[in-house]
């Protein structure tokens, strides 16, 4: 019997999940699969922090100005002492990882199983591939002291609003969110302003986003609102490694 690709297996399992209650054994197996994925992610990323997560499109070519910006940001974040964490794919994720690697800093990726654009890029020191988006998003947020939003599509918007909602609801601390590309994000900014004018969001919520076209301004904002604010330079203690866990 031919073996189905992982994406086909995931689609089949999701259809089963959406049909409603299944056997308790099947639902327990699903929970165990999710738990294993979280455990694997925690073990891979346990010693990588502190991180800054860079979100952005997988569809941006190397000759794009946005690719250059993401590469410079990756390098700058590394020089600030951060581990650069991305979705691990091509495009702007690759650019940020590449900049970190070239600056001599750690470069990490959390990839995802997709029919397209799921390959990990060549500039990663360490990576893992997730099966579930919600697991991946938890991992990308859990280890980060700041978020950089490069130009992107639906996935990047999802990640932007995930981080923004978590901060707005005080589910995580008010880590800086830097949105790079003023002209690109202007329609979204106008929409958010309209929502604020109609009372759908608070004006203070929109202040959580910092828009810029400047690498230097982005790095200075992260320095002030992450490194200084949370005294990262004073953090000396690292998690203890346990040999019996293979660390």
Q: Are 96 and 73 in contact (CB under 8 A)?
A: yes
In a domain, 247, yes or no: no
Q: In the prediction, which pLDDT does 14 show?
A: 63
Residue at 43 is within a domain: no
One domain for residues 10 and 109: no
Q: Given the DSSP bridges, would you call strands 107-112 and 209-212 parallel, antiparallel or unpaired? A: unpaired
> Is residue 238's pLDDT more than 60?
yes
59 burial (CB, 10 Å; 0-12 / 13-18 / 19+) is middle
pLDDT at 180: 98
**Residue 207 and residue 168 share a domain:** yes
- DSSP character at residue 212: E
Closest CA to 66 of 77, 75, 79, 57: 57
Report the percent of the chain where pLDDT is more than 90.
73
Pair (120, 173) in one structural domain:
yes
Distance CA 176, CA 218 (A): 10
Q: Is the pTM of this model over 0.75?
A: yes
User: What integer pLDDT is reported at residue 115 of this predicted model?
Assistant: 67
Residue 10 or 105, more confident: 105
Assess whether 22 and 80 both reside in one domain. no
**Do 169 and 190 belong together in one domain?**
yes
Using the predicted structure, report yes or no on whether residue 243 has a pLDDT greater than 90.
no
Residues 145 and 210 in one domain: yes
In a domain, 241, yes or no: no
pLDDT at 11: 63
159 touches 179 (CB < 8 A) = no
Sign of the C-alpha dihedral computed for residues 215, 220, 223 and 225 taken in this order: negative
Asked if pLDDT for residue 152 goes beyond 50, the answer is yes
- Count of structural domains, the chain: 2
Tell me the mean pLDDT in the region 218-240. 83
Please give the residue range of the domain that contains residue 212. Answer: 48-234
Residues 135 and 19 in one domain: no
Reply yes or no on whether the pLDDT at 234 is more than 60: no
- Of 4-13, 26-35, 50-59, 229-238, which has the strongest mean pLDDT? 50-59
Once rounded to an integer, what is the mean pLDDT over residues 78-94?
96
Three-state helix/strand/coil letters over 116-159 = CCCCCCCCCCEEEEECCHHHHHHHHHHCEEEEEECCCCHHHHHH
* Same domain, yes or no: 32 and 148: no
162: in domain: yes
What integer pLDDT is reported at residue 69 of this predicted model? 98
Whether the per-residue pLDDT at 102 is higher than 80: the answer is yes
User: Do 120 and 129 meet the contact criterion of CB atoms below 8 Å apart?
Assistant: yes
Q: What's the whole-number average pLDDT of the chain? A: 89
User: Is the residue at 54 inside a domain?
Assistant: yes
Close Cβ partners of 173 (under 8 Å, ≥ 6 residues apart): 167, 230
pLDDT at position 30: 86
What pLDDT was estimated at residue 16?
A: 66
CATH number, domain containing residue 188: 3.40.50.450
User: Is residue 192 a part of any domain in this protein?
Assistant: yes
């Amino acid at each position: 019997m031919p073996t189905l690709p992982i994406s086909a297996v995931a689609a089949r399992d999701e259809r089963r999940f959406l049909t409603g209650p299944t056997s308790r054994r099947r639902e327990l197996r699903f929970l165990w699969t999710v738990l294993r994925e979280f455990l694997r992610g925690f073990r891979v990323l346990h010693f990588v922090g502190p991180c800054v997560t860079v979100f952005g499109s997988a569809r941006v070519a190397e000759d794009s100005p946005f690719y250059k910006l993401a590469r410079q940001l990756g390098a700058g974040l590394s020089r600030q002492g951060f581990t650069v964490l991305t979705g691990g794919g091509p495009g702007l994720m690759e650019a940020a990882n590449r900049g970190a690697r070239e600056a001599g800093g750690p470069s990490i990726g959390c990839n995802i199983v997709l029919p397209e654009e799921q390959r990990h890029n060549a500039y990663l020191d360490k990576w893992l591939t997730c099966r579930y988006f919600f697991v991946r998003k938890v991992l990308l947020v859990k280890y980060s002291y700041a978020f950089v939003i490069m130009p992107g599509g639906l996935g990047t918007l999802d990640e932007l609003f995930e981080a923004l909602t978590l901060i707005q609801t005080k589910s995580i601390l008010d880590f800086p969110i830097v949105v790079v590309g003023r002209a690109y994000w202007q329609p979204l900014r106008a929409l958010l302003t309209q929502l604020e004018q109609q009372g759908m969001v608070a004006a203070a919520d929109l202040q959580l986003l910092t828009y810029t076209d400047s690498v230097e301004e982005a790095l200075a904002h992260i320095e002030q609102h992450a490194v200084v604010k949370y005294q990262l330079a004073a953090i000396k203690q690292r998690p203890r490694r346990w040999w019996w866990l293979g660390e």
